[in-house]
Structure 1
């Protein structure tokens, strides 16, 4: 398998329980470089727990997570379809949760992925610009002047440069979520994780956020998205994974899973969600 074809993410046998409630039951998942995988399913199916495990926010009980290296050309420039700004040249990182995982390993996993949360999770006492540059400067130890220039470029891209000195309470929900996306991009991750990025927004604010995510997909960012927006998943995702009760019930191309699902459980879920819309 060539570096271009190799998965950025490989999940094997991921399991997680909270007390007597087993929320993940041996999940396997591959995400090729530059592809988008959408996780759908009812509440409590384990979707968010997968994302949190990929970002080091939860520690699974068993299984492994491997985040592979971004492909780079011989001169160190981004390889084919690599999003601009992503220039990692790192060996694959594997965390085996069946053994003890060290804080350093968790930090290394978190350094390769960035998460956009359902409720934004911006620091309320910081300005928009400060929210964006905090991680790259304090955690990644990158030069302040360069980080600020990159942050301003990203904010301009999503139409929020003029808000760089504002605080989160001065922004709409949609603007806060776009700042959350910029904050994730500023970390230059190999893997972008989105946890229901529009579920906390008023309906009229959803389209702007989805448009930004669609642009990122078109640019070749590798993404895992938990979403209930089936039309968006059909347009954006390369693969849709339907989960229920902590297991993968069905997976396949978005057009197949969302238009002609094979499993009865998937059919029921899709029909119900489309009816609610």
Structure 2
């Protein structure tokens, strides 16, 4: 399956974020985040726990409503969070992205196939037969054709996460959001999931990925953004940010991940 067809030129900006802010009580999690993501580009967010990376994704997906800032999709939807946001506009923003969660978030009482078709059928109101056919194709694509009738407790962590990826793809989003998709997996299962994500990148899917897998970011990302304390400290090509960072804080973080002992 390839990304949703679009009239955008290949290098056009799909997502523009300006001044994104979010606080929980008195704790300001995002202080003013700017981001541009071009169509077909992979942007990885790295940084210490609590830096705001997951909150960025949740704000882009509408799971959290920002306190301020502007989010623009493909020049046809602009949401200004400094003003009251109509529900229809927020729903339209949510329709443009799909999220893959750190802990899978599958419905435990539904099979793999039922998890995948839930969004297309219940939310997008697509015909059930069409959704089932597409879900089976996607499950086969990630090596889970024989697991469509399995419940989450019958699947390994890697298999559950691949179902989570298929569930996101089935929504036909413009933008895929990954929140540390391998951090809950046993080490021997990480490779299978990263391979699926890399294949999606090779196919031209537009993605924002929160990850601590620096080798993956170096190989797949078009841009790496290092965040700390709710701000962007450094951004740039992986060869720069991960091999020769300009900022000392970035250097310390990368060195700590590469040399934990």
Q: TM-score range by the shorter chain?
A: over 0.9
TM-score (norm 2): 0.95
The aligned runs of 1:95-174 (5 Å cut-off) are 95-174=79-158
- CA distance in 2: counterparts of 1:235 and 1:51, whole angstroms: 21
In structure 2, the gaps of 5 or more residues are 1-7
- CA distance in 1: counterparts of 2:145 and 2:91, whole angstroms: 30
- CA distance in 1: counterparts of 2:132 and 2:62, whole angstroms: 26
Where 1:259 maps in the other structure, the secondary structure is coil
1:92 positional shift: 1.7
- CA distance in 1: counterparts of 2:94 and 2:22, whole angstroms: 18
Is the CA contact 2:116–2:170 (under 8 Å) kept in the aligned structure 1? yes
Aligned to 1:52: 58
1:94 positional shift: 1.3
Aligned mate of 2:67, from 61, 70, 84: 61
The aligned runs of 1:233-244 (5 Å cut-off) are 233-244=217-228
Where 1:13 maps in the other structure, the secondary structure is strand
1:103 positional shift: 2.1
Matched, 1:26 2:64: no
Aligned to 1:199: 183
1:5 positional shift: 2.5
- CA distance in 2: counterparts of 1:128 and 1:189, whole angstroms: 20
Deviation larger for 138-147 or 26-35: 138-147
Where 1:188 maps in the other structure, the secondary structure is coil
Aligned to 1:275: 259
Where 2:40 maps in the other structure, the secondary structure is coil
Aligned mate of 1:43, from 40, 43, 49: 49
Is the CA contact 2:10–2:40 (under 8 Å) kept in the aligned structure 1? no
Aligned to 1:83: none
- CA distance in 1: counterparts of 2:48 and 2:171, whole angstroms: 31
1:145 positional shift: 1.2
* Equivalent residues, number: 254
Across the aligned residues of Structure 1 and Structure 2, the Cα RMSD in angstroms comes to: 1.0
In structure 1, the gaps of 5 or more residues are 69-90
